[in-house]
Structure 1
Amino acid sequence: MEIEKEAITSLDVARRAGVSQSAVSRAFTPGASIAADKRERIIAAAEELGYRPNPLARSLLRGRSNIVGVGVGYLTNPFFTQTLQLLSDALDGAGLRLMLFPAQGSTRPEPSIHEILHYRIDALVLLSVSPSSTLTEQCRRAQVPVIHYNRTTPAQDASCVVGDNETGARAIAAHLLAGRHRRFAFMAGTADSSTNAQREAGFTEYLAERGAPAPIREDGAFDFDTAMAATRRLLLRKDRPEAIFCANDTMALAAITVARHEFGLDVGREISIAGYDDVPMAAWPGFSLTSYSQPAAFMVAETLRLILSLRTDADRHEQVVAQGSLVVRGSTRPVGA
């Protein structure tokens, strides 16, 4: 009588191949010790029966799921799209799998605690998501290490991988001042964002140190449509700014769109617009956006390093600060112009 595929187990394979159940387990475990002829006999029996090992069940027997949860709040931001691709590839190369937890929207301000604990993830990476104290405590109790990506946290039991936001913002301020601008604006992201706060502080403080006026402030919420509306408000002012620094590239691309197509301004001559992250779209000729780059590949590599280290030493926490660089393109006035 043929065994139904849905009922097939490693014990069925062992019986068909005439070996022990542990031999079947070794045959499907990379690097495990087993004779070549025995492995071939087991694989043949498994193919005949239609057996497929369950990697999740096998990993849980060893006390790990090999799944890394990733909570992301801004899937529309190209920087995080790029990060997710790099992180997925890096985890795959390490034998780990990524499970995405969307964390945006009024009904879901953070990844679901129930889902995180249900899947017994080995670590949780938060991409610009500010966790509540409840989420942090639940992860601590479940012994799930948390890594904050592109955000800092005051928590002592969490690790961070961030860009050098204040240095980047100061570099943008220096560049805009060198272009002989006199009126500045800062387009902010969300109020709870540590990256936004650091970029705003660096930009504003550098201007103040050089005797320049404080920048006009508008909220763009890291969102394209919101940033378009914020740009309209800025450009309708009597004291319209000559230079706008947006806290990320998504808002800067929106600002360029409005300035150029709604107000007919020559971006890079009549008004300068700079962003932050240096996403791939920033280099497109239609935008040619001056931006401060964040080294996503390095940041992802450091995130993977932390994930692997925390799996063996959950009490070891680090804050990694990645150095970026100013990328000058046509959206800002040349130095000394």
Structure 2
Amino acid sequence: MQTEKITSLQVAQRAGVSQSAVSRVFTPGASASAKTVAKVKKAATELGYRPNMMARAMITGKSRIIGLVVAYLDNQFYPLALERLSNALQAQGYHILVFTSSNAQDRIAEVISDLLDYQVDGIITASVGMTNDLTARCETAGIPVVMFNRGQDDAAVGSVTSANVAGGRKVAEFFVSCGHKRIAHIAGWAGSSTGRDRARGFAEGLAAAGMKPLAVIDGHYDRSIAAQVTRDLMARSDPPDAIFVGNDHMAFAVLDTLRHELGLRVPQDVAVIGYDDVPLAAWPAFSLSTVRQPLNRMVDATLDMLLAQIAQGEIAPRRIEFDGPLITRGTTLTPKGPKQ
């Protein structure tokens, strides 16, 4: 049996307030006294009332929904980022609509179209690229876009990342200070700005010390590929004595391959550094040295930029980078001090 749909007018009558007061109570950011809020919410609970968010969106032109497009959730960094973004948006009275997408541009275009159909107020892309055509479509629709942990040359899109070039450089400098001579890099996907920038910083850091990478191989942010690259590297006649891995997700596969398949000692036989500093990196089973992405600051900056564009409209997008420290744990040696 279908039950009667409770209206805001019925809630107003039960609470003894105006219908507009009920609307204010259920509108994030609207003004209502504590006494009014308590009466309205009590009446709503008693009647089983739920506000019609889609109807409100049609009236106000604001859905209070932010679309998030993420390429994959296997990497432990992204579920954590998704949780922080969602919690921060909810604190601002927004909800999050999550779509997963490959980095294939036709799939991204399909997801962006779906988000525009949902009339989201803004879009955050995490580990996903945007073409100029997609950017123009969002701009025409009046929907701001901010890229999280990914950047691109298009100045029309804001982005928030860690300082990836500087991070790669720190890894190179640290390995050199430990006395390593054969240093390889299992890079992140070359099609991503993060993968390219970390590899560039790493190469620049070695060049400053008069060295070159032993090898730079694209790991595509894929565990199975990273494991096979590790086997190939260690099968060389001149295997690396240190490996910089483009993210922690791949680095865990590298460590498992080195320790449990090849029987090598880490860091005595080969040292390893990752990138991200996901919680799993600190677990004793891995104790992974890694470059920390300042996730909280990145999330805050992403939301600040996006919500400012939603509220104020014509705000020029910015490219924001946050420096992150190199966290040393059990997969690296201690730097050598100066000779006496």
Taking structure 1 as the reference length, what is the TM-score of the superposition? 0.90
Answering whether residue 8 of structure 2 is matched by residue 10 of structure 1, we say: yes
Residue of structure 1 in register with 2:321 after alignment: 321
Residue of structure 2 in register with 1:265 after alignment: 264
Taking structure 2 as the reference length, what is the TM-score of the superposition? 0.89
Answering whether residue 236 of structure 2 is matched by residue 233 of structure 1, we say: no
Q: How does 1:180-195 map to 2 (within 5 A)?
A: 180-195=179-194
SS in 2 for 1:199: helix
Offset, 1:51: 2.6
Residue of structure 1 in register with 2:134 after alignment: 135
Partner deviation per Cα, 1:153-196 (whole Å, 9 max, x = no partner): 21122111111111111111011111111111111121211011
Residue of structure 1 in register with 2:65 after alignment: 67
Tell me if structure 2 keeps the 8 A contact 1:130–1:192: no
Tell me if structure 1 keeps the 8 A contact 2:89–2:95: yes
Offset, 1:230: 1.3
Summarize the Cα distance change of 1:9–1:289 in structure 2 as closer, same or farther, 3 Å threshold.
same
Number of residue pairs the alignment of both structures matches: 334
Tell me if structure 1 keeps the 8 A contact 2:168–2:202: yes
Summarize the Cα distance change of 1:283–1:43 in structure 2 as closer, same or farther, 3 Å threshold.
closer
4+ residue runs of structure 1 moved beyond 3 angstroms?
Answer: 3-8, 11-24, 26-40, 42-50, 105-111
Amino acid at match of 2:145: V
Q: How does 1:29-44 map to 2 (within 5 A)?
A: 29=27, 31-33=30-32, 36=35, 40=39
SS in 1 for 2:153: coil
Offset, 1:8: 3.4
Q: In the aligned structure 1, how far is the partner of 2:18 from the partner of 2:177?
A: 75
Q: How does 1:113-128 map to 2 (within 5 A)?
A: 113-128=112-127
Offset, 1:33: 4.8
Summarize the Cα distance change of 1:265–1:237 in structure 2 as closer, same or farther, 3 Å threshold.
same
Tell me if structure 2 keeps the 8 A contact 1:274–1:289: yes
Residue of structure 2 in register with 1:25 after alignment: 23
Offset, 1:256: 0.8
Offset, 1:50: 3.3
Q: In the aligned structure 2, how far is the partner of 1:141 from the partner of 1:154?
A: 19
Summarize the Cα distance change of 1:82–1:48 in structure 2 as closer, same or farther, 3 Å threshold.
closer
Summarize the Cα distance change of 1:189–1:51 in structure 2 as closer, same or farther, 3 Å threshold.
same
Q: In the aligned structure 2, how far is the partner of 1:201 from the partner of 1:79?
A: 22
The gaps in structure 2 that reach 5 residues or longer are none
Q: What is the identity percentage for the equivalent residue pairs of Structure 1 and Structure 2?
A: 40
Q: In the aligned structure 2, how far is the partner of 1:13 from the partner of 1:55?
A: 16
Summarize the Cα distance change of 1:201–1:46 in structure 2 as closer, same or farther, 3 Å threshold.
closer
Summarize the Cα distance change of 1:142–1:270 in structure 2 as closer, same or farther, 3 Å threshold.
same
Q: In the aligned structure 1, how far is the partner of 2:15 from the partner of 2:329?
A: 66
Offset, 1:101: 1.1
SS in 2 for 1:226: helix
Q: In the aligned structure 2, how far is the partner of 1:38 from the partner of 1:133?
A: 45
Residue of structure 2 in register with 1:247 after alignment: 246
Summarize the Cα distance change of 1:46–1:232 in structure 2 as closer, same or farther, 3 Å threshold.
same
- Match of residue 90, structure 2, among 89, 92, 101: 92
Offset, 1:311: 1.1
The gaps in structure 1 that reach 5 residues or longer are none
Partner deviation per Cα, 1:5-24 (whole Å, 9 max, x = no partner): 35433345556778754344
SS in 1 for 2:274: strand
Coordinate RMSD, CA, aligned: 2.6
Offset, 1:313: 2.7
Tell me if structure 1 keeps the 8 A contact 2:11–2:44: yes
Residue of structure 2 in register with 1:278 after alignment: 277
Q: In the aligned structure 2, how far is the partner of 1:39 from the partner of 1:90?
A: 24
SS in 2 for 1:156: coil
Q: In the aligned structure 2, how far is the partner of 1:96 from the partner of 1:175?
A: 42
Q: In the aligned structure 1, how far is the partner of 2:198 from the partner of 2:160?
A: 16
Offset, 1:329: 1.0
Summarize the Cα distance change of 1:190–1:4 in structure 2 as closer, same or farther, 3 Å threshold.
same
SS in 2 for 1:108: helix
